[in-house]
Amino acid sequence: MNFNKGLLSKTWVRVLLGLFVVGAFSAMGVTGMMIAFGVIVYGGYNMYQDNKAGNPASKKYISFLLVGALLMVIAGTGVANKSAHSNSESTVAESKETQSVSHDEVQYTTLTASSSSESVVKEETIEDKVSNLIKQGKAFGPRSYTAGQVPAGEYVFVATKYGASKYYSEDDAAGEIIDNENFSSFGYVQVHATGNLTTRGTLVNVDSLGELGVSGAKELYEKLNDKQNYNGPGMYKIGVDLPAGMHTVSSTGSAYVAVVTGPVGNSDIVDNENFNGDYAVNLADGQYLEMSRAMFKN
């Protein structure tokens, strides 16, 4: 091999070694700076010794000083680049973390707003509405009452899905029964407010039915008991729960029907019948139909 010509000449080898050293020191960072500092100290110390001995400064040690200074600059540049790169990565990481926090805050805000929106738009149930009427003294829950606690007037009687007994009774001032009834499901009563009153269903003043969004006892009973198109036993108000006209009733046992002029406690019988099979009744607005163990056929 010829070390005097081409890529393998001493000059090229020196250049390549120099580039390698520059790259190595740039990558070494702080370690490179310490080595360069050592080279500078070495060159400076020997120059001091030569000067002390009265000898001129050796070119060799001057070269050490210059090379050490150059390596110090190269290594310092590497340290600065690494620091800038580290700061850049830290900034990017902080930015991502901030974005993540912001995203979480947006999600939390959205969920909170959605939850608040659901709370606002939550529809009041029929049970809630009846409870509000009870608090206002326009409706009365199942229990016994003394004279005057339930104001006089016409009331809807409605049995709930949890009520086993469907009994209603009211006394006069002397303790005599004005009227009583075992309802099948729903009906109407006239409260006189003269004596003790017992109800095993909920009483709602007919003037307050509009606040519940219902027209009569049948519709309220359906809503409170999760029923649709109910056509079984009960006390129907004609023109409210049932249209006027001819209706055919079909028995589900030993059936009974009665057409009366008013609610329980204030009515006279227009027509009544015990039957098995089918029975036709002609009904007019304002009348009431009591029906037991039977259902409408049409």
Are both 109 and 131 inside the same structural domain? no
Single-letter amino acid, residue 179: D
Look at residue 86 in the predicted model and tell me its pLDDT: 57
Q: Is the pLDDT of residue 97 over 80?
A: no
Look at residue 247 in the predicted model and tell me its pLDDT: 96
Q: How far is Cα 247 from Cα 279, in angstroms, rounded to an integer? A: 8
CA 38 from centroid of its chain's CA atoms: 70
Q: How far is Cα 21 from Cα 37, in angstroms, rounded to an integer? A: 15
Band of pLDDT at residue 152, cut at 50, 70 and 90: very high
Q: How many alpha carbons fall within 13 Å on the CB side of residue 257?
A: 25
Residue range 102-130: average pLDDT? 63
Residue 271 parent element (H or E) = strand 269-275
Are both 256 and 206 inside the same structural domain? yes
Residue where a domain terminates, one of 101, 119, 137: 119
Q: What residues make up the domain containing 212?
A: 126-296
Within a domain: residue 1? Answer: no
* More confident call, 127 vs 29: 127
Look at residue 128 in the predicted model and tell me its pLDDT: 95
Residue where a domain terminates, one of 119, 153, 179: 119
Are both 163 and 37 inside the same structural domain? no
- 32 closest CA partner among 65, 67, 76, 86: 76
Residue 292 parent element (H or E) = strand 288-296
Q: How far is Cα 280 from Cα 271, in angstroms, rounded to an integer? A: 11
Are both 207 and 106 inside the same structural domain? no
Are both 16 and 84 inside the same structural domain? yes
DSSP per-residue string spanning 188-250: EEEE--SS-EEESSEEEEGGGGGGGT-SSHHHHHHHHTT-SS--SSEEEEBTTTB-SEEEEEE
Residue range 104-110: average pLDDT? 49
Mean pLDDT computed over every residue of the chain: 80
Q: Is the pLDDT of residue 198 over 70?
A: yes
Look at residue 160 in the predicted model and tell me its pLDDT: 77
Contacts of 170 (CB under 8 A, 6+ apart): 177, 178, 179, 180, 189, 191, 192, 194, 195, 196, 197, 198, 265
Q: Is the pLDDT of residue 106 over 50?
A: no
Band of pLDDT at residue 262, cut at 50, 70 and 90: very high
Are both 75 and 220 inside the same structural domain? no
Residue range 181-200: average pLDDT? 96
Contacts of 282 (CB under 8 A, 6+ apart): 245, 246
Are both 151 and 68 inside the same structural domain? no
Band of pLDDT at residue 3, cut at 50, 70 and 90: very low
As for how many domains the chain has, the answer is 2
First to last CA, the chain: 119
Tokens encoding 127: 């049970």
Band of pLDDT at residue 135, cut at 50, 70 and 90: very high
Percent of the chain exceeding pLDDT 90 equals: 55
Decide if 169 contacts 180 (C-beta within 8 A).
Answer: yes
Look at residue 177 in the predicted model and tell me its pLDDT: 97
- 181 closest CA partner among 173, 189, 171: 189
Q: How far is Cα 32 from Cα 29, in angstroms, rounded to an integer? A: 5
Are both 104 and 138 inside the same structural domain? no
Q: How far is Cα 258 from Cα 240, in angstroms, rounded to an integer? A: 17
Percent of the chain exceeding pLDDT 70 equals: 60
Among the ranges given (82-91, 110-119, 197-206, 253-262), the one the predictor scored with the smallest mean pLDDT:
110-119
Look at residue 220 in the predicted model and tell me its pLDDT: 96
Look at residue 35 in the predicted model and tell me its pLDDT: 73
Are both 176 and 274 inside the same structural domain? yes
Q: Is the pLDDT of residue 98 over 70?
A: no
Within a domain: residue 261? Answer: yes
Q: Is the pLDDT of residue 112 over 60?
A: no
CB atoms within 10 A of CB 85: 10
Decide if 142 contacts 201 (C-beta within 8 A).
Answer: yes
Are both 16 and 130 inside the same structural domain? no
Q: Is the pLDDT of residue 47 over 70?
A: no
* More confident call, 6 vs 124: 124
Residue range 135-155: average pLDDT? 97
Decide if 65 contacts 41 (C-beta within 8 A).
Answer: no
